[in-house]
Structure 1
């Protein structure tokens, strides 16, 4: 996979005094497997947690590479953890799933093939296709659509004390458990309304923001896989695209109507 052999260097933009990043693809790539043998140690679990934290938080050298690393932690004779950490420049969740799948296949294979098959096309083919799209007439049409779609988009104002917040890039998460009964109800509702479970939950989140802000018009961000072309399904790399969906709640709209509107909003956005 090209992405796993890629590093990034800064090169000058002549005449501007600025720099740009350029990708370098090595002909071969080798990632060492670090091993931590904690078997027989009384605090093996605590040490494993500490090693895992250090493994995933250690910065990468973008120019020197590699941009991913592997660590095998042995806690007992029958308890082992394989940790894979990758820089987001070369991967996304889809790619990680595919990589783990390939590793499992090799692990269970009676013998490794003489040569690992290369993904065709590769990530560079995707980059070239995106560059061609930027030069196509359709790109300008899509750009105009987004500019019109997000024109005069109000900022979402939530009733929170601004003096308790400080700008930053670290988010947080609130995790909740949904009962099996409610899960089945959500699935049934989604099927009856011709949408996915994601759209139903997205609409519920829009309702929550509307309830706390009193605003019916605001933007909400989500992610798309960015793999509209199935030829790239097996390719390692960062494909994720950010979509801004515009909520439009009116006073006479019920929840089913909101779900229908958000479903249409999502489908139109994915096409562009």
Structure 2
């Protein structure tokens, strides 16, 4: 954790200005984290962000291809690679070029074989590592199952994207495809700044005394931090594998409503109530009093950042002292 919320407490600036195009843009603090991890474990796919879209009905492949190309043109960060110059990582963007959509036709296979092969291709694409130096850091593959059924595989590296960005990508793709399919031009407004402009602004805002103050805060806040000793059913592997899974649990509506009522009564958000419940559960399982939980934040506190694809998300450390047997409402 470098700085508190990576720039949220920086000196106020009315608008993030476009950078001087003659200067080489640095990496943002968030990007430098992932760049460093890539140096430690080159060839890892742990920070791939895959998206698979099943498309049914007549597909205008030309319009789809043009739509993805327009998104690449709009968002400079998707045309960016990361190289080292004078022993420092920098961003290097390429000029806009004609985008060619990779296509795979599975129409000759049986339905069962098509689905199995499509799943294999999706898994293969999601796990194929990116080269941060060579790029590109967005890949697109169109898998044709039947004349009116396709799967679009979109994969980005986390260093140029985040969860919010995936929503932007999906929305812009929908809007552009609709426009281009009808023979219209792009209806999307021009972006006021690019991600590299944000990186330059962030570096200029967070330095010297401002940066030292925030680093000092987190060093003090995380001093003597405790590692949770959870009673897992299997020992941790000697080398981290990232072989995990997601398990989804859906609460009944009555439970959700009761939690919302409790949150309003206590004057907190639903997130705060659920976080307290999670920390209570960890305390119960571990018996430890120092409970530390990491949680992501969007980190888009400025209007000019809301429509940008890029890596803005940050992780905050929520540390809770459960000593003295506090009541749940105190947590």
Deviations 1:154-205 (A, max 9, x none): 2222234785543315152333232222222223322332322222222111
1:111 to 159, 163, 183: 183
C-alpha separation in 2, matches of 1:45 and 1:31: 27
Per-residue deviation at 1:153? 2.0
* Separation in structure 2 between the aligned mates of residue 160 and residue 93 of structure 1, nearest angstrom: 29
Instruction: Select between 158-167 and 25-34 the one with higher mean Cα deviation.
Output: 158-167
Q: 2:102 aligns with which of 34, 46, 64?
A: 34
**Is the CA contact (8 Å cut-off) linking 1:32 and 1:69 kept in structure 2?**
no
> Where does 1:66-215 land on structure 2 (aligned, <5 Å)?
66-109=136-179, 110-113=182-185, 117-135=189-207, 137-160=209-232, 163=235, 165-170=237-242, 172=244, 173-215=246-288
Post-superposition CA distance 1:206-232 (Å, at most 9, x none): 111100111121321111112122221
Root-mean-square deviation (Å): 2.3
Question: After TM superposition, which residue ranges in structure 1, 4 or more long, deviate above 4 angstroms?
Answer: 114-117, 160-164
- 2 CA distance for matches of 1:169 and 1:21? 27
> Could you tell me the TM-score, scaled by structure 1's length?
0.83
C-alpha change, 1:161 and 1:56, in structure 2 (3 Å) is closer
Q: 1:195 to 1:83 in 2, by over 3 A?
A: farther
TM-score, normalising length from structure 2? Answer: 0.69
Q: Give, in whole Å, the separation in 2 of the partners of 1:148 and 1:76.
A: 59
**Partner deviation per Cα, 1:26-58 (whole Å, 9 max, x = no partner):** 121444212222235312111111111112122
Structure 1: unaligned runs, 5 residues or longer:
14-19, 259-272
**Aligned with residue 2 of structure 1, among 76, 82, 86:** 76
Q: What is the CA distance between 1:3 and its match in structure 2?
A: 0.6
For 2:193, what is the secondary structure of its paired residue? coil
Q: Distance in 2 between matches of 1:186 and 1:31?
A: 48
Worse-matched range after superposition: 73-82 or 197-206 = 73-82
